[in-house]
Amino acid sequence: MAPMDTNIESRTIAVLVDNEPGVLARVIGLFSGRGYNIESLTVTEVDVAHGLSRITVVTSGTAQILEQIKAQLGRLVPVHRVRDLTKEGTSVERELALIKVAGAGEKRVEALRIADIFRARVVDSSHDHFVFEMTGKSDKLDVFVDLMQPLGLIDVSRTGVVAISRGAKAL
Amino acid sequence: MATEQFTGAEIVIKALKDQGVDTVFGYPGGAVLPIYDAIFKQNDIKHVLVRQEGGAVHAAEGYARSTGKVGVVLVTSGPGATNAVTGLTDALLDSIPLICLTGQVPTHLIGNDAFQEADTTGITRPCTKHNYLVRDIESLSRTMHEAFYVAQNGRPGPVVIDLPKDVQQGKIDTYLAPEDVKHRSYRPQVNGEVDHINEAVELIANAKRPVFYVGGGVINSGSSASTVLTELVRLTGAPCTTTLMGLGAYPGTDKQFLGMLGMHGTYEANLAMYNCDVMINVGARFDDRITGVIDEFSPDSKKIHIDIDASSINKNVMVDIPIVGDAGRVVEEILRIWKEKKHSLDAKSLKAWWSRIDEWRAKDCLGYVQDGPIIKPQHAIKRLYELTKDRKPYITTEVGQHQMWAAQYFHFDEPKKWMTSGGLGTMGYGLPAAVGAQLAHREDLVIDISGEASFMMNMQELGTIAQYRLPVKIFVVNNQWMGMVRQWQQLLHGNRHSESYSDALPDFVKLAESFGLKGMRCEKAEDLDQMLQEMIDSPEPVIFDCQVAKEENCYPMIPSGAAHYEMLLGPEDTAAKPISEEGMVLV
């Protein structure tokens, strides 16, 4: 018998599902019921004509667990396709964040300066706050949020990861 | 001319009829009254009134498992649906195709905490293969047929259809027939990967110590799967063992059959699994009752795993050749290639392998001594088998020691004769399951091998047996203990029998008589055969209270936390191999 691989890896998995009531609960219930991790999960309808939604889930586990997660997702009745974007070729991953920073004086200037470096856009502001919009890879968002922490960060809203494979082929 | 109008309830009945359903197990209530009214107005579908909804689901399981058809359940909303949950979970774990129709409050009241409202699709989502809430009558006929397709295709399982009362009462002039409905995406793979099948054939052909490890997937695949599997096993000359769910998939009295494997399987079956060089898993799932501690499970073998459910492969045990497909179809293909290439196993190696197996067999791991007047439970079941085997009875069981003894001492030469709660281990399964099996096979002998504690869990179904004059034989192996609990308390918890004594039992003979059934009690070994014969010959339903040795344990046994070659063969072994702390944590 092959020895079990105990390395924990992170994977981004795309799941195409029927956009029907309960389908998200089915996917989430599978993860909680079987004790798998969800690091990020996004879902929205992507094909209105055919009633299809796309779920992007970032999960982690040993190679065996990750294969198991994909197989378990694949056997849900409303699931059309399951693709491992991390393992099957390369992919583009993006996340969007809205970040609210409140304050005045030096800190406010510094926040705006860093936002500029990170190419964050100001989408709302007053004399004592900014709301920044930022899109990028999740770790870039993490760094920006960390930098805002001492500068008056009061609220963060993030979408979670969306991802798509590189190249000319569809899911 | 006005077009024909159907109510939702009529569509439900029409769809059932078009799906070939002849029997529905159910219990009425407010939210399903329109469907019950539609049942009243027709004669094609027989409704069997159970005494509690849990009984309906197990009865449908017994019906499904003994016929190979889909079992159908009809219950009301709220408590009707929640009572069905155990049976649905049971059917999910044992891959039994069921349709469970549940009433629901009208759509405008959903979410209002209405009377007898429960979030049925929410509650049953993790315990069904799939479920539906039908929100409008337009989608009703499609949903009905789709549900039947999902329940029986791929790995079978239970499907719930939640039917709000206004949908049942609504009217529509269109009905989709089964052939008009195609599921948009669900297409399970049934033919295994050709490359993998070829590799598997080569691996088997070069094996020196092969073993076939056969599970319930072969039975679910249909009778022809058992036929081709049996032919393949006989052609190779290799030994074959089955899981609890697989009993009957290979002839139980055949000389190549090693008996059941696993926690209470035979010594020879488990040792053959440990020592084999090629393991051919056909429709089994390496569950924890089979493997013992995973790290020491059959470490030197190459493993082939045939399963229709890709998620069963590499879940517990990593295998060398995975084949996703229907057990019958894949085995048929293996058999075809085997014959075409005129393969045969190396005779010398096979002979040496069988002589090792014969040494393990010589341990006579199922041996027991019946002396004196007290009936040994093993003896009771063995005699029941001997006296009934010519009639090829349908056997159901409850859960516990009696279940394991039945699996060990009863032998099944055909599939679909054996119905037991394997995955979930549901006490109370056997009596209603026997109701379902007997309804499907009115002229055949149906026996529920029961324990006195399990029997009490669903004994309300005696009412169903009495109402429909079902000649079910309820064979109660009565040791006045929850025997398996007591056994584990003895082995793991210093013999402290916490709450495992069956106190305040009814007088089973009087209980039977109070329902108009025949009651019998046997207390002496010398009376056993004659009384068993009387039970078998009786055209009546019978409760047979078989008073057996109280503190007999079920052996052989792989204790929890041990490897599958470390079997306890009897009480004398127990002291020598104390069970580890880690083992005690396991169930």
CB B419 within 8 Å of CB B394: yes
Q: A49 at the B interface (CB within 8 A)?
A: no
For A18, half-sphere exposure in the C-beta direction (CA atoms, 13 angstrom radius) is: 14
In this complex, do A18 and B311 lie within 8 Å of one another by their Cβ atoms? no
pLDDT of residue B299 exceeding 60 = yes
- Measured in angstroms, the CA of B300 and the nearest CA of chain A are apart by 7
Q: What is the pLDDT of residue B303?
A: 98
For residue B507, what are the contacts with CB-CB under 8 A and spacing of at least 6?
Answer: none
Tokens in use for B320? 């060398």
Quote the pLDDT of residue B585: 83
CA atoms lying within 13 Å on the CB side of residue B173: 4
Q: What percent of chain B has pLDDT over 90?
A: 96
Phi, psi for residue B44 in degrees, rounded to 5: -80, -35
Closest to B26 (Cα-Cα) out of B76, B77, B91:
B76
Dist. CA A58–CA A66, nearest whole Å = 11
Q: According to CATH, what is the number of the domain B194-361?
A: 3.40.50.1220
**Across chain B, what does the average pLDDT equal?**
97
Residue B484 is among the residues annotated as catalytic for this protein = yes
Per the structure block, which two tokens stand in for A104? 């005045």
- Residues B18 and B146 sit within 8 Å (Cβ to Cβ): no
Least confident window among A20-29, B49-58, B219-228, B570-579: B570-579
Residues whose CB falls within 8 Å of the CB of residue B367, separated by 6 or more in sequence, listed in order: none
Rg (CA), chain B: 25
Mean pLDDT of B436-453: 98
pLDDT > 60? residue B363: yes
Exposure class string for B200-234: b at 16+ Cβ within 10 A, else e: bbebbbebebbbbbbbbbbbbbeeebbebbbebbe
Tokens of A71: 């197989």
| Centroid of chain to Cα B20 | 23
Mean local confidence (pLDDT), B520-527? 98
Residue boundaries of the structural domains of chain B: 6-180, 194-361, 377-547
Residues 141-160 of A with CB under 8 A from B: none
Residue B343 has which token pair? Answer: 């393969």
Q: pLDDT at position A75, please?
A: 95
B133 to chain A: closest CA residue? A21
Contact B387, B529 (CB under 8 A): yes
How does strand B418-419 pair with strand B321-324?
unpaired
Buried b / exposed e across B283-293, counting CB within 10 Å, b at 16+?
bbbbbebbbbb
Residue B128 distance to chain A (closest CA, Å):
11
Strands (E), B409-451: 418-419, 446-451
Instruction: Output the CA angle B346-B352-B356, nearest 5 degrees.
Output: 140
Task: In whole angstroms, give the CA distance from residue B395 to residue B382.
Answer: 13
Confidence of residue B71 (pLDDT cuts 50, 70, 90): very high
Residue B129 forms contact with A (CB below 8 Å): yes
Q: Which chain A positions have a beta carbon within 8 Å of B303's beta carbon? A: 1
Q: Domains (ranges, CATH) in chain A?
A: 9-84 (3.30.70.260), 92-164 (3.30.70.1150)
The stretch B504-529 carries a mean pLDDT of 98
Condensed to tens digits (0 to 9), the pLDDT of residues A69-88 reads 999 999 999 999 999 999 99
B326/chain A closest Cα distance in angstroms: 15
| Topology annotation, domain B377-547 | Rossmann fold (3.40.50)
pLDDT for the residue B15: 98
> Quick count: other Cβ atoms within 10 Å of Cβ B241?
26
Count of alpha carbons within 13 angstroms of residue B28, beta-carbon side? 12
Q: Residues 6 or more apart from B554 whose CB is under 8 A from it?
A: B264, B401, B404, B405, B483, B484, B487
Tell me whether residue B410 is one of the annotated catalytic residues: no
Residue B36 has φ and ψ, to the nearest 5°, of -65, -35
The first and second tokens of residue A13, run together, are 């998995």
A13 pLDDT band, cuts 50/70/90, is very high
Phi and psi for B348 in degrees, rounded to 5? -65, -45
Over pLDDT 90: what percentage of chain A? 95
Contacts of B340 (CB under 8 A, 6+ apart): none
How much is the pLDDT for B2? 63
Please give the C-alpha separations between residue A1 and each of A67, A68, B279, B558, in angstroms, as whole numbers. 17, 18, 11, 21
Answer whether residue B360 shows pLDDT above 60.
Answer: yes
The pLDDT value given to residue A147 = 98
Exposed/middle/buried for A149, CB within 10 Å: 0-12, 13-18, 19+?
exposed
Contact B168, B34 (CB under 8 A): yes
CB of A9 closer than 8 Å to CB of A60: yes
State pLDDT tens for residues B121-156: 999 999 999 999 999 999 999 999 999 999 999 999
Q: One of B17, B115, B392, B510 is an active-site residue; which one?
A: B115
pLDDT, one tens digit per residue, over B85-129 is 999 999 999 999 999 999 999 999 999 999 999 999 999 999 999
Question: What is the predicted pLDDT for the residue at A4?
Answer: 61
β-bridge partners, A97: A134, A158
What average pLDDT does the segment A86-92 reach? 93
CA dihedral B265, B267, B269, B272 (to 10 degrees): 150
**Sorting pLDDT into bands at 50, 70 and 90, what band is B260?**
very high
Beta bridge partners of A136: A95
Residue B548 scores a pLDDT above 50 = yes
Question: Can you tell me the distance from the alpha carbon of B340 to that of A34, in angstroms, rounded to the nearest whole number?
Answer: 44
B45: DSSP letter: S
Answer yes or no: are the C-beta atoms of B473 and B447 closer than 8 Å.
yes
Task: Determine whether B115 is an active site residue.
Answer: yes
From the list B279, B404, B459, B484, the catalytic residue is B484
Chain-chain contact of B130 with A77 (C-beta, under 8 angstroms): yes
CA atoms B168, B172, B176, B181: torsion sign? negative
Residue of B19, B52, B53, B61 marked catalytic? B53
CATH match for B6-180 among 3.40.50.1360, 3.40.50.970, 3.40.50.2000, 3.30.56.10 = 3.40.50.970
Q: What are phi and psi of A155, to 5 degrees?
A: -155, 140
Which residues does chain A have within 8 Å of residue B276's beta carbon, measured at their own beta carbons? Answer: none
Q: For B430-560, where are the alpha helices, taking DSSP H only?
A: 430-440, 452-457, 462-467, 483-492, 508-514, 525-537
Confidence at residue B576, expressed as pLDDT on a 0 to 100 scale: 65
Q: Is the pLDDT assigned to residue A1 strictly greater than 50?
A: no
A84 touching chain B per CB within 8 A: no
Instruction: Report the pLDDT value the prediction gives residue A5, as an integer from 0 to 100.
Output: 73
Cβ neighbours, 10 Å, residue B107: 16
Give the tokens for residue B315: 């879940």
- The predicted pLDDT at position B1 comes to 52
Q: How far apart are CA B330 and CA B317, in angstroms?
A: 20
The bridge status of strand B302-307 relative to strand B321-324 is parallel
Nearest Cα to Cα of residue A24 among B139, B149, B125, B154: B125
Number of residues assigned to chain B? 587
User: Which residues make Cβ contacts (< 8 Å) with residue B218, sequence separation at least 6?
Assistant: B225, B226, B229, B246, B249, B250, B282, B283, B327, B328, B331, B415
Residue B10 phi, psi (nearest 5): -65, -35
Contact A22 B125 (CB under 8 A): yes
B164 vs B102: CA distance, rounded Å: 9
**∠ CA A26-B191-B334 to the nearest 5 degrees?**
135
DSSP string, A74-95: HTSTTEEEEEETTTSS-EEEEE
Residue B578 gets which letter from DSSP? P
Chain A's closest residue to B319, CA to CA, is A1
Q: Which amino acid is at A61?
A: G
